[in-house]
Chain A
Amino acid sequence: DAGVIQSPRHEVTEMGQEVTLRCKPISGHNSLFWYRQTMMRGLELLIYFNNNVPIDDSGMPEDRFSAKMPNASFSTLKIQPSEPRDSAVYFCASSRTASSGANVLTFGAGSRLTVL
């Protein structure tokens, strides 16, 4: 199993540009999460999908952020327009809900975004 695959690994862009981050979850996992990690705020949940349906997007900072999951094997996180404060590492994680109900997450390698 290749694990959770994210691309790009690094992205440097200028303020105002559109950024699209991509994620391929582990096959058979029915839940997908997008997290953002910064020194100041730590790991923050942005959005959660279950069976490709967005369940909770309360962590999405503002309308500039959007996420989609068109099928079970692909998700995108888009920022338009990007701002310097969006600079962070964005992690995608997937899970298969355990019988106990708890989600154990497998994280991708992350996409490091720098907005100049």
Chain B
Amino acid sequence: GQQVMQIPQYQHVQEGEDFTTYCNSSTTLSNIQWYKQRPGGHPVFLIQLVKSGEVKKQKRLTFQFGEAKKNSSLHITATQTTDVGTYFCAGPSGGSNYKLTFGKGTLLTVNP
């Protein structure tokens, strides 16, 4: 079945440093979503990318969808302690848009 791989599994940075997490799918995706889960919290939707090569920004966060629609990245510029959490990518699987397969996530910790 479809697999969504995320790297790295963990990332520890000093506040102010940049951070990037990468997501790779074994199959072409119709869209990809990103979620953030704070420690002890629940996943919260951040953004959805649909078009090949699409780039979207949310303040210090930049999301990119690959040209082949099989990979995506999330880049955070100048991390802050409020960025701490696990970032998940998710893509539809099984030929259906409702069935989201989540990556294992990247846990970001920020040293103040």
Chain A residues proximal to chain B, CB less than 8 Å: 31, 42-43, 45, 48, 50, 55-56, 91, 93, 97, 100-110
In the complex, what distance in Å separates the CA atom of A105 from the CA atom of B31? 14
Q: Given A42-B102, A43-B102, A56-B99, A102–B45 Cβ distance below 8 Å?
A: no
* Residue tally, chain B, CB below 8 Å to A: 23
Q: A91-B43, A105-B45, A107-B43 are in contact. List 12 more A-B contacts (CB 8 A).
A: A42-B102, A42-B104, A43-B102, A45-B100, A91-B42, A97-B98, A100-B31, A102-B33, A102-B50, A103-B97, A104-B48, A106-B45
> Does B88 sit within 8 A of A, measured CB to CB?
yes
- Interface of A, secondary structure class, is strand
- Interface of B, secondary structure class, is strand
Q: Which residue of A lies closest to B43 (CB)?
A: A107
